[in-house]
Amino acid sequence: YTFDSFWYRPPMDECQKMYASGRYVWNTGYFVTTPGYVRALYATHQPDMWAKLTGIEAKIGTAGYTEALHDLYPQMETISFDDAILTHVPHNQALVLHGNMGWSDPGTLYALKEAINPDPAANVSKGQVVTHDSKDCLLYNYESDKLVAAVGLEGMIVVNTAESVLVVHKDNIKLVKAMVDGLVGTDLEKYT
């Protein structure tokens, strides 16, 4: 299909109109392109960021790399790739492939559970884990000298490591980032 434009996170009322029209497709974030093309887009549409990126790139493999990274990276604007680059792609330089691939957010721990075993009655576990009357859980225990025992859980994610334990319901997994961000600047930041 021909590409018209990319709109990152339009307002809800626009989303509803777009969906109702049937003329728009969801961007999965999968792209087939060349590094050179993406680099050219950065140079053209994000020149300040591009200058910093190339400044870091020039130091790769040298003694000054760490200093350049620590100096330049924090100076970059916090902006999504979608807003920084994709919204600027000319309509005649992209095509759209339409496909029905199902949907699972690969950015969540629960997506890992679904990928390993999509059965909502099944648990997925690793390490020393026992369950009783639990279903649809992801239970990972990275401590060989500890047992994780789950009783009566449903839709829970439990991850036990040497440093910390995470317990979260699958519907609240998106809140983990906010919790981790809240640890920055505190005595608990070392766990982030």
- 28 or 148: which carries more pLDDT confidence? 148
Which residues are CB-neighbours of 85 under 8 A, at least 6 positions away? 38, 41, 42, 45, 46
Q: Tell me which DSSP letter residue 170 carries.
A: G
The pLDDT of residue 96 is 87
The pLDDT of residue 25 is 83
